[in-house]
């Protein structure tokens, strides 16, 4: 069973539109983080959000720990936002490791 | 400021060969992770070191995968013997002292096993 589920698997937008990416967990978590990866590129941390709402530029993440879910909102998308967005969580069980979702592939068209 | 460095960027191996992937973490970081990334499985944790001690050995990957950290600035991942299903991107990441918010990834090694 996938412990971290992401949706949608892929998303195509026109430049300027907003994107809403979802992440849900089958187990309880201490913390959630969102990463970004360009094709062939390295994973880069975007937002660390253990709970509540965090914002960084055009990115806003909302995590509701009790409901085991997190979302990433990208406002006014740009072509350079294209790539894969991965959600990762640390289980509450105590063993420090990040468990990743399969990602949402975002394509922003001109 | 040097990030996480992984070599080689690409590796092609014949089935049954032994390959060694290398990683240099960010200087001063205490935690080092090896992940495998495939389209189907996504990212899977292979090994986790804290201050050079192995904390997590990746369970299902034990038999043919062995990660070592000989010193605080260098780690290797050996796959022996390789199988075609090992074809994937192998990622190394480091962190000052745990904490998801401080995880830095290398560019990865793309392994193809024929």
pLDDT of residue B67: 94
**For residue B52, pLDDT beyond 90:** no
Residue A48: which of B101, B104, B107 has the nearest Cβ? B101
Distances (CA, A) of A103 to A62, B5, B60: 17, 24, 22
Measured between beta carbons, the chain A residues lying within 8 angstroms of B98 are: 96
Nearest to A42 among B33, B100, B106 (CB): B106
Higher pLDDT, A93 or B94: B94
Whether the CB-CB separation of B73 and B2 falls below 8 Å is answered with: no
| CA–CA min distance A33, chain B (Å) | 7
- Give yes or no for residue B58 having a pLDDT over 90: no
Measure CB to CB from residue B91 to each of A32, A43, A97 and give the nearest one.
Answer: A43
Q: Cα–Cα distances in Å, from B108 out to A15, A16, B22, B36?
A: 30, 32, 10, 9
Using CA coordinates, name the residue in chain B closest to A40. Answer: B107
Predicted local confidence at residue B100, as pLDDT: 55
Q: Tell me the chain B residues in contact with residue A63 when contact means C-beta distances shorter than 8 Å.
A: none
- CA nearest B80: which of B93, B67, B89? B67
Phi, psi (deg, nearest 5) at residue A108: -110, 120
Which of B89, B94, B95, B100 is the mutation pick for testing A, counting most A CBs within 10 A?
A: B100
Query: Which residues of chain A are under the pLDDT cut of 70?
Result: 1, 94-96
Chains A, B: CB contacts under 8 A, how many? 48
pLDDT for residue B98: 61
- Reading the block at residue A49, the tokens are 């959000």
User: Within 10 A of A55 (CB to CB), how many other CB atoms are there?
Assistant: 13
């Amino acid at each position: 069973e996938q412990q971290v589920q992401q949706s949608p698997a892929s998303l195509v937008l026109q430049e300027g539109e907003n994107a809403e990416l979802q992440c849900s967990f089958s187990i309880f978590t201490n913390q959630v983080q969102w990463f970004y990866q360009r094709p062939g590129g390295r994973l880069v941390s975007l937002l660390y959000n253990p709970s509540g709402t965090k914002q960084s530029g055009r990115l806003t993440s909302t995590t509701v720990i009790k409901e085991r879910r997190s979302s990433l909102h990208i406002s006014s998308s740009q072509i350079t936002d294209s790539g894969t967005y991965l959600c990762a969580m640390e289980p509450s069980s105590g063993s420090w490791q990040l468990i990743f979702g399969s990602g949402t592939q975002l394509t922003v068209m001109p | 400021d040097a990030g996480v460095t992984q070599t080689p960027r690409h590796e092609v191996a014949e089935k049954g060969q032994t390959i060694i992937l290398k990683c240099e973490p960010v200087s001063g970081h205490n935690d080092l992770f090896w992940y495998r990334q495939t389209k189907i499985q996504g990212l899977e944790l292979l090994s986790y070191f804290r201050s050079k001690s192995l904390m997590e050995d990746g369970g299902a990957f034990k038999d043919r995968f062995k990660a070592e950290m000989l010193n605080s600035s260098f780690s290797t991942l050996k796959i022996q013997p390789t199988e075609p299903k090992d074809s994937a991107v192998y990622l190394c990441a480091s962190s000052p002292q745990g904490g998801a918010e401080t995880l830095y990834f290398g560019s990865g090694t793309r392994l193809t096993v024929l």
